[in-house]
A and B are shown apart, each in its own frame.
Chain A
Amino acid sequence: MDKVVQKAIAKDKRWRAVYIVCGLLIVALTLLMGAFLLYQGSQTFLKAHHSVWEFLFTSDWAPLDKTGMFGGKVGAAIYIVGSLETCLLGLLICLPFAIGSAVFMTEISPKIGEKFFRPATEIYVSIPSVVYGWFGLTKLVPIIRNTFHPKMGGFSVLAASIVLAIMIFPTITTVAADAIKSVPNSYREGAYGLGATRWQVIGKVVLPAASGGILTGVVLGLARAIGEALAVAMVIGKTRSFATSLLSPTSNLTSAIAADMGNTAQGGEYNLALWSMALLLFIISIVLIVLIHKLGNGKKEK
């Protein structure tokens, strides 16, 4: 009997060690990647002596593409603005639908929600982004082209935002639905007991109580949106200028990196500037995550 217990404890310890090693490995990997990005991305400023101001706030983009040659222009504002505007617009388009669907499948019609709606939404998460991009290129862009007849043939901020909205919809919806579901039933019963209508219960009790979880969904969605390269690249037009309207094309960080990384000479100014853009993306995602975590915690403490 004693032996069995000892064996069980030993096994327990062994597995614990395995999990700890796995966990540490992931943490170390993340830190290493961060350190690597920080090193590579800072070369634009340290080695090629460009100012951070020039990189972030000017739009003159003409880096030199030869190993060890510096002196071009690395203003990446067009790409930065392109990334931010498509993501935020995508989020704006997506949020009402996502929260509406989450409420529908948990509060309004849980049966259909659980049996049909949730599995259907979850399938969308696993669709590769190239499929979304292809859909955008072959269906969405022509629709925009034929409806609005914009000058550049439908490749636009609008198309990119809609593609992103569709891509992040399942993430936000499922996370929000989980959050709404985990709101204790006593809250609802209490509110109904006070004579609140269903609409009031959902809007004034359930959603505020679930806001922390919903914000987590928003972060996850934004993180996917800001890092998405392929689908956006296929519909945004990649024109190197600020978008003058929703219907005009622009470019963004990810598609610029994806388009030029392989062709540029390593250690050249162009290559370094692309690394800085990657570093910026990394920082943006970290800031977003920290920011919204803080927001979520603040709400919870109330």
Chain B
Amino acid sequence: MSREKNKVAIVALVLLAIVTGCVIGSSEADTKGVSGTVNIAGSSALLPLAQTAAKTFMDKNPDSVINTNGGGSGQGLQQVSDGTIDIGNSDLLAEEKLDKKSASKLVDHQVAITAIAPIINKDAGVKSLTTEQLIKVFTGKVTNWKQVGGNDCQIVLVSRPSSSGTRATFEQYALKKHASQSNQSLETDDSGTLIQMIQSVSGSIGYVSLSYLTGDPQVGIVSINGVKPTLKNVYNGKFTVWNYEHMYTKGQPKGAAKAFLQQMLSEEYGKKIEAMGYGVASKLTTAAKATHTK
């Protein structure tokens, strides 16, 4: 009997220790750096960037905690609008997903830009396509690469789910608002898997953001109208298939969230963003910005 009581006592003590540990940990206010917790969730395209930024921020401000989560742009916008998270990541403008009233309460921070490049299996033998050819390929009007100057090889489309922000951007800027053929294309919700599919399926074509192509991805990168998808071409306005990555806050950010966003938008951190394959909004020339006005 007494043994049982001992057990209960030990469990109670451990629980007590955990609880008090948490309370003390969170209430301990150190004057060094910024303290506080910031919860971030949303876009999976923006997640790698948010994660690295969170780590850098926490290294500099040991008393802060930044939690980063994926979940998709829809989740990010919804949760920040509900107030369950502090920063909601999204590939799309809040106005495109939420109703007007909720969207108007959110403040947009354009932390980065993502360029999207068509990638192609090497069997296709195509290095560059015109916008017109690209539209024909993705709408299923041509079915063999030889029809657009490549090898005699069937075209296999690989695309992202219809709710994906990457797909929305690609269709808007690369396909000039033509919807890609859903009933003839393979689909994957993961850019890593998509690259693997392009590597292995003969004659396949798809699209991923540049941040996935920083290593040697073993796939062909297609130029559009002779313009290579690079950050340089995005900045000078020649390559137009890109979008802003948004971090939304409900109202103006405060405390740790504010400091975190300031770090994201700083020039110093911009270099890191570019090293990861994303672009920095402040480097866009007027010509580039002009292609993306609403």
Q: Are A67 and B102 in contact (CB under 8 A)?
A: yes
Within 8 Å CB of A155, what residues of B? 186, 197, 201
With both beta carbons as reference points, the residue of chain B lying nearest to A151 in the complex is identified as B154
Report if B78 contacts A (CB, 8 A).
yes
Within 8 Å CB of A241, what residues of B? 182-184
Q: Are B71 and A265 in contact (CB under 8 A)?
A: no
Report if A259 contacts B (CB, 8 A).
yes
* 9-residue interface stretch from B128-136, B159-167, B230-238: B159-167
* 9-residue interface stretch from B58-66, B188-196, B216-224, B284-292: B188-196
Which listed residue (B99, B161, B197) contacts A67, Cβ 8 A?
Answer: B99
Tally of chain B residues near chain A (CB < 8 A): 36
Within 8 Å CB of A258, what residues of B? 189
Report if A298 contacts B (CB, 8 A).
no
Q: Are A67 and B196 in contact (CB under 8 A)?
A: no
* 9-residue interface stretch from A30-38, A113-121, A189-197, A232-240: A232-240
Within 8 Å CB of A234, what residues of B? 193
From residue A75, how far is it (CB to closest CB) to chain B in Å? 13
Q: Are B156 and A263 in contact (CB under 8 A)?
A: no
With both beta carbons as reference points, the residue of chain A lying nearest to B95 in the complex is identified as A66
A153 to B197, CA, bound (A): 9
With both beta carbons as reference points, the residue of chain B lying nearest to A78 in the complex is identified as B183
Within 8 Å CB of B161, what residues of A? 238, 256, 259-260, 263
With A66-B96, A258-B189: A270-B102 Cβ-Cβ less than 8 Å: no
Q: Are A262 and B193 in contact (CB under 8 A)?
A: no
Within 8 Å CB of A271, what residues of B? 74
Q: Are B78 and A249 in contact (CB under 8 A)?
A: no
From residue B92, how far is it (CB to closest CB) to chain A in Å? 9
From residue A218, how far is it (CB to closest CB) to chain B in Å? 31
* Chain A CB within 10 A, most for which of B73, B74, B185: B74
- A contacts, CB < 8 Å to B: 65-68, 137, 141-142, 145, 151-155, 233-234, 237-241, 249, 251, 256, 258-266, 268, 270-271
Q: Name 19 extra pairs, CB < 8 A, besides A238-B186, A251-B187, A270-B163.
A: A65-B163, A66-B96, A66-B99, A67-B99, A137-B196, A145-B200, A152-B186, A153-B197, A153-B200, A154-B201, A155-B197, A239-B182, A241-B182, A241-B184, A259-B187, A262-B72, A262-B75, A264-B74, A265-B98
